[in-house]
Amino acid sequence: MSFQHWALQPETLFKQSVVIPVIVVNDLADVVPMAKAIVAGGINVLEVTLRTPLALEAIGLLCQQVPEAIVGAGTVTTAEQLQQCIAAGAKFAISPGFTAELLQAGKAASIPLIPGIASISELMQGIAVGYSHFKFFPAEAAGGVKTLKSIYGPFADIRFCPTGGINPNNVKDYLALPNVDCVGGSWIIPDDAVQNKDWPQITALCLAATALNTNT
């Protein structure tokens, strides 16, 4: 199935996969085989972070060559970057934080923006503009599971994708929370596997991640 002409909504994005892989592109030659290994593992959401100069080109490449994936951009921090990601073909954008300008640009954009928050005050600012789905970052450093539990009380209808310090040892604790639909993580695409082009290892890690059950 191609998502080329599918209007994605935040709630749909959060329900696609329990784990959203955080991809840092250092070599364009690795991008397509890495993405296909991830998709083979049952994950069809790919977050390509804007941490390297190759990111926008990689997003365009993946949109063309891996149409079965929902390709988005991470580490989006300005309205200008948001527009560049849309032009590259991104289906969603995720930010580690936000500015007032970025929040407004996200509401006007043709793709969903998932703003990042680390505090109640930031959350309230985002809600005031009309957002209901947020990245919680940096999750572990910002109090992790305990903080998200506390947020649930007064903001039970808000949904989160925690990212930052998530790993196989704590991922189930996050996914068990009623206000967490998915998590972001890089453990399913370890650096050594990418360097060694060990795509079967990445597929195996993704299969293990997709097997996670929030009710167990």
Mean pLDDT of 82-88: 98
Mean pLDDT of 109-120: 97
Among the listed ranges 6-20, 94-108, 124-138, 148-162, which one has the minimum average pLDDT value? 6-20
- With beta carbons less than 8 A apart as the criterion, state whether 47 and 23 touch: yes
Q: At what angle do helices 55-65 and 79-88 cross, to 10 degrees?
A: 30
Mean pLDDT of 95-102: 98
Query: Quick one: pLDDT band at residue 213, thresholds 50, 70, 90?
Result: low
What CATH class does 10-210 carry? alpha beta
The residues spanned by each domain of the chain are 10-210
* pLDDT computed for residue 4 by the predictor: 45
Residue 152 corresponds to which amino acid? Y
Q: What residues are annotated to the active site?
A: 47, 135
What's the per-residue H, E or C state across the chain? CCCCCCCCCHHHHHHHCCEEEEECCCCHHHHHHHHHHHHHCCCCEEEEECCCCCHHHHHHHHHHHCCCCEEEEECCCCHHHHHHHHHHCCCCEECCCCCHHHHHHHHHCCCCEECEECCHHHHHHHHHHCCCEEEECCCCCCCHHHHHHHHHCCCCCCEEEEECCCCCCCHHHHHCCCCECCEEECCCCCHHHHHCCCHHHHHHHHHHHHCCCCCC
* pLDDT computed for residue 1 by the predictor: 40
Mean pLDDT of 99-128: 97
Mean pLDDT of 170-186: 97
What's the pLDDT tens digit per position in 48-79?
A: 999 999 999 999 999 999 999 999 999 999 99
Mean pLDDT of the residues in the chain: 95
Mean pLDDT of 93-103: 98
